[in-house]
Amino acid sequence: MGRLIVIALALASFAAQAAPPQKIDATYRVLKSGQQVGKVTEHFEHDGKRYRIESTTAATGIYALFAKGNIRLVSEGEVSKNGLRPLHFEHHRGADAAKLAVADFDWERHIVSHKYDGKVETAPLEEGVQDRISQHYQFMFQPPRQKAIDIHLSSGRRLNLYNYRVVGEENTQTPIGLFKTVHIARQRTQDEDGVDLWLAKSRHYFPVRIVFDEKDGGKLEQQLESLYPPAAAELKPAKR
């Protein structure tokens, strides 16, 4: 009986660790050519049935003088057995309402409606579709287990299929510590930026580093600088 109790407690502990946290607050520093140009603040919460994500990118320092407002992404939807299922997505660019892009997901009719520039366009809704911000949090519910990962993604303007590949496991340095991560990537195309994500294994595969390979050849990097619940970095910082 004692052994059964120990096993039950161990399984309960494992399940608690395996379940993504109900709330996450994170900030990233944004770097371009090694210089900080902005900051990303994100808030995620779910109750096992519904979720909400809000991400705000703001320019910092001298770059704030030239920025035309903040970029704000909002995603709301359901939590299903397969993870996040977006119902509504907004992409705000500053305070200009004319630049707002919205996606509404009708899972009963299997249609996604994109609203932007005064237009409404619809497209067939594929199972597993994510939006621009929910895709990063979906990995907490569906970790990358295969070498190739296909994700249908709504930008608020259109629906695209993106092909990611698992590069491998790496030790990744961040401002809050060194993590064991899974590195996944999608290549840049003529029309779309490429992106590399480093997902921390000890933090439910939450992205601790993101690098955008921009169409113009530049690179924009996000480095995790704070995380709540606190991140217990797996490895000690590398010696200099």
**Measured between alpha carbons, how far is residue 194 from residues 36, 164, 207, 217 in Å?**
20, 10, 16, 10
Structural domain contains residue 169: yes
| pLDDT of the residue at 237 | 63
Average pLDDT over residues 45-56: 98
pLDDT value at 15 more than 70:
no
Structural domain contains residue 173: yes
| pLDDT of the residue at 77 | 99
User: What's the CA gap between 110 and 106, in Å, rounded?
Assistant: 6
Structural domain contains residue 8: no
Structural domain contains residue 11: no
What is 117-165 written as a DSSP string? TTEEEEEE--TT-EETTHHHHHHHHS---SSEEEEEEE-SS-EEEEEEE
Average pLDDT over residues 230-239: 64
Structural domain contains residue 120: yes
User: What's the CA gap between 28 and 221, in Å, rounded?
Assistant: 9
Spatial contact of 131 and 156, defined as CB atoms under 8 Å apart: yes
Query: Chain-wide mean pLDDT for the chain?
Result: 89
| pLDDT of the residue at 193 | 82
Structural domain contains residue 16: no
Which range among 1-5, 62-66, 233-237 has the greatest average pLDDT?
A: 62-66
User: Among 167, 166, 236, 180, which Cα is nearest to 208's?
Assistant: 180
| pLDDT of the residue at 190 | 67
pLDDT value at 81 more than 50:
yes
Question: Between 93 and 15, whose confidence is greater?
Answer: 93
What is the residue range of 219's domain?
22-228
Structural domain contains residue 239: no
Q: What is the CATH number of the domain that holds 70?
A: 2.50.20
Q: What is the pLDDT of residues 116-131, one digit of tens each?
A: 999 999 999 989 999 9
Structural domain contains residue 116: yes
pLDDT value at 143 more than 60:
yes
| pLDDT of the residue at 97 | 79
**Structural domains counted in the chain:** 1
User: Among 59, 126, 130, 131, which Cα is nearest to 101's?
Assistant: 131
